[in-house]
Amino acid sequence: MGLLTSEHLASIGVAEPSIDVEISRRDIQKYAAATEQQQHRYIQGDEAPPMFIFNLFSPISALADMRTDGIARSKVAGPKLPLKRIMAGGTQINQHRPIKPGDRLIGTRKITDMYEKQGSTGPLIFTVRSLAITNAQGELVLEEIQTSIAR
């Protein structure tokens, strides 16, 4: 196949700039209400639900960078892929510590793997990205691993 270039492969392991966020009780409560959480600890904002981190470490997009449906245009790091149709290939979340109000968290994304396979309708490129979230003490709080498939 040979669709991945040396530029693609060189992006493996290169971290994007980290994003630093401070978690407030109000942020947790708003997320809990928006996602109809039922557990008292989430509703009261004592602890963040597991999916609270979704988009928390994404850059905030300007209105001009939004699509007509209100979703931010993708600004994925790394070289452009030769295959343009992108599909979700799975997400794995490993939570090591609860996220609490007052936590200062640092999220760092990077591509951890890229590889090709031949699918039944043509070539596929798999890109595996990780988001490592640590606290101010440098302790690992959560790891998110996402796989995307280009075809």
Distance CA 117, CA 124 (A): 5
Kindly state whether residue 1 falls inside one of the protein's structural domains.
no
The mean pLDDT of 117-134, rounded to a whole number, is 95
Number of domains in the chain: 1
Contact 60, 72 (CB under 8 A): no
* 74-118: pLDDT as tens digits: 666 677 889 988 899 999 999 999 999 999 999 999 999 999 999
For residue 68, name the pLDDT band (cuts at 50, 70, 90): confident
Kindly state whether residue 122 falls inside one of the protein's structural domains.
yes
- Given this model, what pLDDT does residue 58 score? 79
- Given this model, what pLDDT does residue 108 score? 96
Kindly state whether residue 109 falls inside one of the protein's structural domains.
yes
Query: What is the span of the domain harbouring residue 119?
Result: 6-150
- For the entire predicted model, the pTM comes to 0.84
Number of helices and strands in the chain (H, E) = 3, 5
- Given this model, what pLDDT does residue 84 score? 85
- Given this model, what pLDDT does residue 60 score? 78
- Given this model, what pLDDT does residue 69 score? 73
Determine how many CB atoms are found less than 10 A away from the CB of residue 123.
15
